[in-house]
Amino acid sequence: MQFEFATAGKIIFGVGSSKSLPDLVGSRPLLVTGRRAPQINATRFIVTAEPTVQVVRDGVALFRKERCDTVVSIGGGSVIDAGKAIAALATNSGEPLDYLEVVGKGAALENAPAPFIAVPTTAGTGSEVTRNAVLSVPEYRVKASLRSPMMLPRVAVIDPELTLGLPPALTASTGMDALTQLIEPYVSGKANVLTDTFCLEGIRRVARSLRRAYSDGSDLEARTDMAFASLLGGLALANAGLGVVHGFAAPIGGMFDAPHGAVCAALLPHGMRANIRAGAALMRYSDIAMLLTGRPEPEAAISWVASLCAELDIPRLSAYGIRREHVDALCENASRASSMKANPVVLSQDELQTVLTAAI
Ligand SMILES: [Zn+2]
């Protein structure tokens, strides 16, 4: 058995764990947060949407002006990715596009980022333990990652209590993102025994708790399962990569105002079907089907996921304005997305079109 595995410097998980935050932050933190800002003595930078490169430039300027020494993100995936990118750029010269993949120059960071502490308030992205930040570049209508092994957070604090207030639609979309981020790394060509262990445990917890967290947001046991599953998904994807669903999520998120998790959910059963039809990772899909349904046929996993999407009221992609006339461009861009490289099989443009059209 051989594997390599990288993650945050320290992971603190548990109900009430965020109470230790005031002791963890530096003396001059930059607090990146959403509209509901927590009570911490810090310079505040508010992020209310998925971050653009301009948001990162503004955050870096504030960090330097206030002579901050740490970045602390308390919020959903957008807030965590924004903080992670701000911490990375704060100690490096140049600007985000110099380092961005796909549409930027993709240069490597020269200096270690400022210490970064991630505190998720949703259970889905796992961004608290990943080494990339997804930024949108409005000029190109695309999303791309700023990525470096040095961008892994210094500390990840995961407190399920912070997710108790999430409304059902957000619980559904972020929870489906978590499920996608457990299924894709499990069937990925880069999976290893440690990521496999995390994926199977995570899928088991989503299966038993996502419906519960959706129908009763105050169910702390279900929220704890989802927070843990989200963490496991982040650990897995950072080390084993993703696949076709996330390959589509990047160009769709760049061109349309659509929540990442809901996009992944709408695509997930169709992405699974394309891989299974292509004969890829069948034993792995069979493992997933056994976990979800007690039956070994890979197709059983597809039906289970499709009915979960229906129960959670996941909209079709047409709800975000995506139409048949967008299919060619989206498939073209998806085939170049970094997540697509980890899909267990290279899907043709025809196969990609089938996936996307079925989700519209
Ligand atoms: Zn995702």
Q: pLDDT digits over 339-354, tens only?
A: 999 999 999 999 999 9
**What's the pLDDT at 53?**
96
The pLDDT tens digits for 209-238 are: 999 999 999 999 999 999 999 999 999 999
pLDDT tens sequence across 167-215: 999 999 999 999 999 999 999 999 999 999 999 999 999 999 999 999 9
Average pLDDT over residues 3-8: 90
Query: 58: CA distance to ligand 1 center in Å?
Result: 25
Distance 184 CA to ligand 1 centre (A): 10
Whole-number Å distance, alpha carbon 230 to ligand 1 midpoint, is 10
226: amino acid identity, one letter: M
pLDDT at 359 over 90: yes
Q: How far is the CA of 65 from the centre of ligand 1 (A)?
A: 33
Between CA 248 and CA 337 the distance in angstroms is: 8
3-state secondary structure the chain: CCCCCCCCCEEEECCCHHHHHHHHCCCCEEEEECCCCCCCCCEEEECCCCCEHHHHHHHHHHHHHCCCCEEEEEECHHHHHHHHHHHHHHCCCCCHHHHECCCCCCCCCCCCCCCEEEEECCCCCCHHHCCEEEEEECCCCEEEEEECHHHCCCEEEECHHHHCCCCHHHHHHHHHHHHHHHHHHHHCCCCCHHHHHHHHHHHHHHHHHHHHHHHCCCCHHHHHHHHHHHHHHHHHHHHHCCCHHHHHHHHHHHHCCCCHHHHHHHHHHHHHHHHHHCCCCHHHHHHHHHHHHCCCCHHHHHHHHHHHHHHCCCCCHHHHCCCHHHHHHHHHHHHHCHHHHHCCCCCCHHHHHHHHHHHC
Distance in Å, CA 234 to ligand 1 centroid: 9
pLDDT tens digits for range 231-260 = 999 999 999 999 999 999 989 998 999 999
Q: Which residues contact 268 (CB under 8 A, 6 or more apart)?
A: 176, 179, 180, 183, 245, 305, 309
Q: Which residues contact 325 (CB under 8 A, 6 or more apart)?
A: none
Is residue 1's pLDDT more than 80? yes
Q: Measure 181 CA to ligand 1 centroid, in angstroms.
A: 6
Dist. CA 260 → ligand 1 center (Å): 6
Measured in Å, residue 327 CA sits from the centre of ligand 1 at 20
Please give the distance, rounded to the nearest whole angstrom, from the Cα atom of residue 210 to the centre of ligand 1.
16
- In this prediction, residue 292 has a pLDDT band, given cuts at 50, 70 and 90, of very high
How far is the centre of ligand 1, averaged over its atoms, from the C-alpha of 38 (Å)? 25
The Å distance, Cα 73 to ligand 1 centre, comes to 18
* Interval between CA 256 and ligand 1 midpoint (Å): 16
Cα(125) to ligand 1 centroid in Å equals 6
Q: How far is ligand 1, taken at its centre, from the CA of residue 104, in Å?
A: 21
Q: How far is the CA of 246 from the centre of ligand 1 (A)?
A: 6
Ligand 1 centre distance from Cα of residue 242 (Å): 9
How far away, in angstroms, is 88 Cα from ligand 1 center? Answer: 21
* Cα 28 to averaged position of ligand 1 atoms, centre (Å): 31
